[in-house]
Amino acid sequence: MTIDRRALLAAGLAVPFATAAAQAAWTRPAGVTPDASVPLWPSRHLRLPAGLVEQVVQRSDDPDASDRMLQGITRPRLDIFRPAKPTGAAVILAPGGGYRYVVIDKEGYELARWLKDRGITVYVLFYRLPGDGWENGSDVPLADAQRAVRLVRSRAAVDQIDQARVTFGGFSAGGQVATSLLTRFDAKACAPVDSTDQLSARPDALAAIYPVVSMDPAIAHAVSREKLIGANPDAARERLYSPELNVRADQPTLWLLHAEDDSVVKVENSVRLREATRAVGAPCEAHFFERGEHGFGLMRTAGLPVAIWPELLWNWLGSQKIL
For 205-260, the pLDDT digits (tens) are 999 999 999 999 999 999 999 999 999 999 999 999 999 999 999 999 999 999 99
- 3-class SS at 43? helix
pLDDT at res. 15: 33
pLDDT at res. 159: 98
Q: What percent of the chain shows pLDDT beyond 70? A: 90
Give the predicted TM-score (pTM) of the model: 0.89
- Residue 256 near residue 211, CB atoms below 8 Å: yes
For 269-314, the pLDDT digits (tens) are 999 999 999 999 999 999 999 999 999 999 889 999 999 999 999 9
Residue 34 CA, chain-centre distance (Å), reads: 16
- Domain parsing of the chain, residue ranges: 31-44+51-319
- Cα 128-66-297 angle, rounded to 5 deg: 70
Neighbour-count burial for 83-120, b at 16+ CB within 10 Å, e otherwise? beebbbbbbbbbbbbbbbbbbbbbbbbbbbbbbbebeb
Count of CA atoms in the C-beta half-sphere (13 A) of 117? 10
Query: Average pLDDT for residues 39-57, to the nearest whole number?
Result: 93
For 87-143, the pLDDT digits (tens) are 999 999 999 999 999 999 999 999 999 999 999 999 999 999 999 999 999 999 999
pLDDT at res. 59: 86
Strands (E), the chain: 36-39, 55-58, 68-71, 77-81, 90-94, 102-103, 121-126, 166-171, 205-209, 253-259, 284-289
In sequence order, the β-bridge partners of residue 34 are: none
- Residue 148 near residue 305, CB atoms below 8 Å: no
Report domain 31-44+51-319's class: alpha beta
pLDDT at res. 24: 30
- 3-class SS at 255? strand
For 209-219, the pLDDT digits (tens) are 999 999 999 99
Task: Return phi, psi of residue 207, to 5°.
Answer: -120, 135
CA–CA separation, 255 and 68 (whole Å)? 26
Does position 69 have pLDDT exceeding 90, yes or no? yes
Does position 322 have pLDDT exceeding 90, yes or no? yes
Of the candidates 295, 85, 307, 314, the one whose C-alpha atom is nearest the C-alpha of residue 210 is 295
